[in-house]
Structure 1
Amino acid sequence: MATVFLIIIYAAFISLGIPDSLLGSAWPVMRSDMGASFGFAGVLSMIVAGGTIVSSLLSGSLVRRIETGKITLISCCLTAGALLGFAMAPSVVWLIVAAVPLGIGGGAIDAALNHYVADNYKAHHMNWLHCFWGVGATIGPIIMSFYMQEHYSWREGYTAVSIIQFSLAVLLLATLPLWKRVAAIRKTEQPNNVPPIGDAGPERIIEDSAQHANVLRIKGVKHTLFAFLFYCGVESTVGLWGASYLVGAKHMTAETAAGWIALYYGGITLGRLVTGFITLKIHNRVLIRSGQIIALAGGIMVLLPLPQLFMAGLICIGLGLAPIYPGLLHETPARFGRENSAKLMGYQMAVAYTGTTLLPPLFGWLAARTDIALFPIVVLAFTVLMMICAEKVNRLLSKQTYSGIG
């Protein structure tokens, strides 16, 4: 039952990923139809992410008060309705209105499902969960590119995705009683006092963490949060502005640019699929560090003025990012304690989407006043900052282990 139910959770994450890549793919055409400025996509992205931050911060309390299944169902209905609102929007004002429930619904699903999987399944399932987010994020530009090319309509693309979301809502409604039952089964299968989420030999910063009234005071938490901030800065900046960069600086058509962004998300998807198998043998920390090195190499390739290297670098960034986000999420209970994981999962989601809220719009503002050609430099800078923060946590963990703690 738990395996079958996991497939439903994977389907929920596919539907979560599809809307995340739509706006960036559609914007080169969408902005001219709506009479919007180049940088207005950053405003919409900020509003969506702002709603996500609010729902993520509340997710810890919501998970305790409301079943994860109900949260997921309600959130799916919110996102489906919001996407239909995008498709029918007569002006940018309506896009702003629809962006609010889109962000709230997406954030609630993200935090609730991440906590559920981290608490009930092993590390490879977390990687595969986010692999299926990548499937959705890859499908999004393909759907949008098809409707823009065949039907000359980004609105039909949003309508198609809205129908997919409503279909998932029906499936979630039918399987609502299974959430508690599967969690109970997983709990009985786990040995006492052994968290299901730990890899072989996980180091945990304990220092009486259960006694901390404020989880932000636990050592390593703040640097982990900054790693999430800059991770989402890289991922969402490439996703939102990559197509505009290819159109504006590389003179590609909007349809071709959307296809290349689909390949970027495809790199994330493939990387997470492979990582899911590798986690059975290799510790999350090694995979996170390896991903950062690959993403850094991709950022350097994108910076070089060679078209062939740029395309390869774009896919490399996607492959490198693949293990970082799910790896950091899955380490949360092992590093900081299961008793803190629900609250910290919400905080991590909130800070991650703060990166989505602030950093891509910041680049949009900068590009509108200077040149879109700054895109590779900004992506590389965010990648370096993410790596510094994550490595700081690793050093702290090593010191704690060396001193006999954990």
Structure 2
Amino acid sequence: MSASLLVLSCLAYVSMALPDSVLGVAWPGMSVSLDQPIGALGLLLPFGVGAAVLSSALTGRLLSWLPLGRLLSGSTWLSVLAVVGYAVAPSFWGVVGATVLLGLASGAIDAALNAYAASRFSARQITWMHASYGLGSVVGPAVVTAVLSAELGWRLAYALVAGAQAALGCAFLLNTRRWAAARPRPLARPKGPAPRSGRGLVLGSVVFVLQMGVEGGIGLWGYLYLTSAQGLPADVAGLVVSGYWAVMFVGRLGLGQLAERVGIGPVLAASVAGIVAGTGAMAAPGPAPLAVGGMLLVALASAPVFPLLILTTADRVGPAQADRAVGAQMAAANGSNVLLPGTIGLLVERFDAAVIGPALLAVALAMAAAYALLARLHPARVPAVERG
């Protein structure tokens, strides 16, 4: 595999993270300009996630007749159009339209790159690609903060993001044929019967949904849990949540290399156990440092799970169905970003913030049970042929 295609894949993940991370920082100013309440931000989420779920689910079919390079290039330019839409939106519904376009573009890019990575990248490379999203999540808010501090307005911030994505779109356009030229090398198949694609796809999707539910649930509700249930000061809780994402970023940089040395199966098993242990520490009665340690353990343990599950998709469903399975799993993961954190929110409203820890533990235990079934059917391993 060409190193330039790996770099492009990582840059695409940085680019995808920029508009996602910009919105939360820019919204207070946007809401004033568009004459909307702060809470209207919550109305945008279903539009974006719904579009991303639809796009991810259809990407496998699109890849069966549309070359990967063209799909990536077209989706990136659609993303540019969406971000320009944010910059010039005259009303809230203009922002809604841009959000739908962005969801369609991001879902296609995400699923297409993961389908490519699943057949071409090593464990180290695919975790680096996913770590790049975390880098973009750091850069995006920093850009908006600098622009707003200079009193240049949120529209300029989106214009800058659109410029960065346009540069990536040009790079994809210039390298369209190179994606087609990089043919996947065959993976070593285990002895025994062929994978049961239906059962592997269902169990794999369930693990994706539950793992992303834990990861996203902490990202969304971790601050409230630390301040309201654990009594931490707001500034300390904010640092812990930032540390949560930082630990995940570092984990993705390093744990992929560990998977190449000891095997994907042991790393996934240890990660699932770490997620259960971390949420258990959050749910257990005890001092605040115990909950903080649990959150950071979940971040480290979660880091390699998503990319390594993507990498082993062909082992579960067979190479012929891998592209469509990746798209289906990405759609399930995107949907879980709304479903499970939203359910936890309803529990918080019904009870109080102390329910967050036990709720996350319950989801983690269900994930561990689903993964145990998946591992029995399709043991994860490192391909015998080195990729990349």
Normalised to the residue count of structure 1, the TM-score between the two structures is 0.79
Does the Cα contact within 8 Å between 2:216 and 2:337 map onto a contact in 1? yes
Q: What is the match of residue 102 of structure 1?
A: 102
Distance 1:125 1:268, change over 3 A: same
Q: Does 345-354 or 379-388 show the bigger shift?
A: 379-388
What does 1:61-76 align with in structure 2 at a 5 Å threshold? 61-76=61-76
Q: Which amino acid aligns with 1:390?
A: Y
Pair 1:390-2:371 in alignment: yes
Q: What is the match of residue 85 of structure 1?
A: 85
Displacement, 1:2? 0.9
Q: Which amino acid aligns with 1:179?
A: W
Distance 1:374 1:29, change over 3 A: farther
Pair 1:252-2:234 in alignment: yes
RMSD: 3.3
Displacement, 1:204? 7.5
Pair 1:36-2:16 in alignment: no
Does the Cα contact within 8 Å between 2:28 and 2:38 map onto a contact in 1? no
Q: What is the match of residue 263 of structure 1?
A: 243
Pair 1:291-2:271 in alignment: yes
Displacement, 1:78? 2.3
Q: What is the match of residue 128 of structure 1?
A: 128
* Secondary structure of 1:62 counterpart: helix
Q: What is the match of residue 404 of structure 1?
A: none
Does the Cα contact within 8 Å between 1:21 and 1:137 map onto a contact in 2? yes
Task: Give the gaps of 5 or more residues in structure 2.
Answer: 380-388
Displacement, 1:257? 6.5
Q: What is the match of residue 308 of structure 2?
A: 327
Task: Name the CA distance, whole Å, in 2 between partners of 1:64 and 1:165.
Answer: 26
Task: Name the CA distance, whole Å, in 2 between partners of 1:355 and 1:347.
Answer: 12
Q: Which amino acid aligns with 2:104?
A: I
* Secondary structure of 1:65 counterpart: coil
Q: Deviations over 1:318-356 (max 9, x none)?
A: 211111101111111123210111111111111111212
Q: What is the match of residue 4 of structure 2?
A: 4
Task: Name the CA distance, whole Å, in 2 between partners of 1:308 and 1:19.
Answer: 33
Q: Which of residues 223, 226, 233 in structure 1 aligns to 2:206?
A: 226
Q: What is the match of residue 403 of structure 1?
A: none
Does the Cα contact within 8 Å between 1:25 and 1:243 map onto a contact in 2? no
Q: Which amino acid aligns with 1:283?
A: G
What does 1:332-347 align with in structure 2 at a 5 Å threshold? 332-347=313-328
Does the Cα contact within 8 Å between 1:206 and 1:335 map onto a contact in 2? no
* Secondary structure of 2:262 counterpart: coil
Distance 1:309 1:222, change over 3 A: same
Does the Cα contact within 8 Å between 1:147 and 1:154 map onto a contact in 2? yes
Does the Cα contact within 8 Å between 2:127 and 2:308 map onto a contact in 1? yes
Q: 4+ residue runs of structure 1 moved beyond 6 angstroms?
A: 27-33, 246-249
Does the Cα contact within 8 Å between 2:27 and 2:38 map onto a contact in 1? no
Does the Cα contact within 8 Å between 2:123 and 2:257 map onto a contact in 1? no
Normalised to the residue count of structure 2, the TM-score between the two structures is 0.83
What does 1:271-286 align with in structure 2 at a 5 Å threshold? 271-286=251-266
Q: Which amino acid aligns with 1:167?
A: A
Percent identical: 29
Does the Cα contact within 8 Å between 1:204 and 1:336 map onto a contact in 2? no
Q: What is the match of residue 18 of structure 1?
A: 18
Distance 1:96 1:385, change over 3 A: farther
* Secondary structure of 1:264 counterpart: helix
Q: What is the match of residue 329 of structure 2?
A: 348
Displacement, 1:107? 0.8
Does the Cα contact within 8 Å between 1:59 and 1:112 map onto a contact in 2? yes
Pair 1:318-2:299 in alignment: yes
Q: Deviations over 1:129-170 (max 9, x none)?
A: 212223223434444555566659665554443332222112
Task: Name the CA distance, whole Å, in 1 between partners of 2:220 and 2:41.
Answer: 8
Task: Name the CA distance, whole Å, in 1 between partners of 2:143 and 2:192.
Answer: 43
Q: Which of residues 189, 194, 209 in structure 2 aligns to 1:206?
A: 194
Does the Cα contact within 8 Å between 1:36 and 1:92 map onto a contact in 2? no
Does the Cα contact within 8 Å between 1:234 and 1:382 map onto a contact in 2? yes
Displacement, 1:272? 1.2
Does the Cα contact within 8 Å between 1:75 and 1:106 map onto a contact in 2? yes
Distance 1:170 1:292, change over 3 A: same
Q: Deviations over 1:230-277 (max 9, x none)?
A: 122122233344456667775626xx8766544322222211111221
Displacement, 1:55? 0.9
* Secondary structure of 1:278 counterpart: helix
Displacement, 1:90? 5.2
Distance 1:263 1:322, change over 3 A: same
Task: Name the CA distance, whole Å, in 2 between partners of 1:30 and 1:296.
Answer: 39
Q: Which amino acid aligns with 1:178?
A: R
Pair 1:239-2:219 in alignment: yes
Does the Cα contact within 8 Å between 1:202 and 1:335 map onto a contact in 2? no
Q: Which amino acid aligns with 2:254?
A: V
Q: Which amino acid aligns with 1:318?
A: A
* Secondary structure of 2:234 counterpart: coil
Q: Which amino acid aligns with 1:104?
A: L
What does 1:118-197 align with in structure 2 at a 5 Å threshold? 118-144=118-144, 146=146, 151=151, 157-183=157-183, 187=184, 190=185, 194-195=186-187
Task: Name the CA distance, whole Å, in 2 between partners of 1:377 and 1:144.
Answer: 36
